[in-house]
Amino acid sequence: MHLTTRIKKSKQMIRLVRPMEVSPSDLIYPIFVREDGKKFEIPSMKGEYYLSLQDAVKTCSKTMELGIPAVMIFGVLRRKDAEGSIALQKNSFHSKVFKRLKKEFGDDLVLISNVCLCDYTEREFCVYTVNGKVLNEKTAVMLGRIGVVHAEAGADVIAPAAMADGQVKAIRSALDDKGFDDVAVMTYVKTDSCLFQPFFKTMTLSTAPRVGVDSSKFRADIINKKMFMQKVDLDISEGADIVIVKPALTNLDLILRTKQRHPTIPIAAYQVSGEYAMIKCTAEEGLLNEESLLMETLSSIKRAGADMILTYHALQAARLLLK
Ligand SMILES: [Zn+2]
């Protein structure tokens, strides 16, 4: 008689028959570097800290020691301006961060630049708009210019987060024009999720909620897989090297679908701030075990087809995996 329990006889037997496991080399650690140099716990993401540039160097060293190959950089500026032109200034804060980290770590650590207008514009929208209409081309051209600034400073990968149509094409051609044909484009494809909310609180300079543009105009409808795949197809046709599916846990089917449809394109999944909060808060309440929940979610994301996972739990996960 065939018994399914034979291959579950021991923990090691179970490991032996696993087709895959999450490994520290799958992980990417997103970090928040503050221009004002202040280090403190991020109120909307308990357990994670804003870093000064000096702290960022130390954190990156720790990241590398744990076998994590990449960090994603979020720069938290002192001020923003109407059109986000602050992003293009010579010696911008982001440039300083990339220069410093590149000088320190060379090619031993992959530096990924999150590129979005909300990091630089006073209104903190991801895209330019007029009367509520999304201005794709204007947004894409600006993202391309910002991408070049970051590539010049040492970014290895440009990750446009705006969900603008044409963003990958504009960034690719801006990079190629300046000789950065070796810099990859890692495009975000996002569903219109409430799980991003703790993140917005980490990046905003204002306490007022963002009003004026409905994010459903540029993100994909959560229930509509066709709409999501249409954006994946478009970004890949424009030259995306890697696709990020975001959020991860509510889009496991979309990770699988993207993987199946584009088997040669590496797929990343972003375990976002709301997912981080769900794990942290349920653990804090004593409802679930943080480590078990973390590893279960990461494993399910990997099983769905992600080749790499961006997670605020990266350091903790790597430590658990190395135990
Ligand atoms: Zn944005």
**Cα dihedral angle (281, 286, 291, 295), rounded to 10 degrees?**
-70
Q: Which residues belong to the active site?
A: 190, 246
Q: Please state, as a whole number, how many other Cβ atoms lie within 10 Å of the Cβ of residue 309.
A: 24
pLDDT tens for the 323 residues of the chain, in order: 999 999 999 999 999 999 999 999 999 999 999 999 999 999 999 999 999 999 999 999 999 999 999 999 999 999 999 999 999 997 999 999 999 999 999 999 999 999 999 999 998 899 999 998 999 999 999 999 999 999 999 999 999 999 999 999 999 999 999 999 999 999 999 999 999 999 988 888 776 666 657 899 999 999 999 999 999 999 999 999 999 999 999 999 999 999 999 999 999 999 999 999 999 999 999 999 999 999 999 999 999 999 999 999 999 999 999 98
Residue partners of 10: CB distance under 8 A and separation at least 6: none
- What is the model's pTM? 0.96
Q: Which residues surround ligand 1, an ion (CB under 5 A)?
A: 116, 118, 126
Q: Which residues pair with 157 in a beta bridge?
A: 112, 184
Ligand 1 centroid to Cα of residue 40, in Å, is: 23
Find how far residue 185's CA is from the centre of its chain.
12
Ligand 1 centroid to Cα of residue 130, in Å, is: 17
SS3 187: strand
Find how far residue 142's CA is from the centre of its chain.
19
Ligand 1 centroid to Cα of residue 137, in Å, is: 16
Residue partners of 31: CB distance under 8 A and separation at least 6: 51, 56, 59, 60, 71, 72, 73, 74
Q: Please state, as a whole number, how many other Cβ atoms lie within 10 Å of the Cβ of residue 222.
A: 18
Ligand 1 centroid to Cα of residue 22, in Å, is: 28
Tokens of 116: 């979005």
